[in-house]
Amino acid sequence: MEKNLKNAVIELNGAHCTSCAYTIEHLGRKIQGIHHIHVDASKSEIHIDYEGNLEALESVTEIVHRIGYKAVVRKKGTS
């Protein structure tokens, strides 16, 4: 992981299919400040390495809500 990046975990409710995971990851990579995003559908989590801008996390939860699921930031801002 690059120096000074933060990581976050977002709880993901309802999205269990590969297509949903791909969509979240694909759209999440386009958000400025996000360096890595991975959906672990088996654990219902989204793992993100980002620059510390909380708006980036809000954008990910917005994407999840727009495709019909729920997402809540559980852990944020740790190095």
DSSP designation for 25: H
What pLDDT does 56 receive? 95
CATH number corresponding to 6-78: 3.30.70.100
The SS3 of residue 47 is strand
What is the pLDDT of the chain when averaged over all its residues? Answer: 91
Residue 36 · residue 9 · CB < 8 Å: no
Tens of pLDDT, residues 54-66: 999 999 999 999 9
Q: Is pLDDT larger for residue 10 or for residue 77? A: 10
Band (pLDDT 50/70/90 cuts) for residue 79 is low
What pLDDT does 17 receive? 85
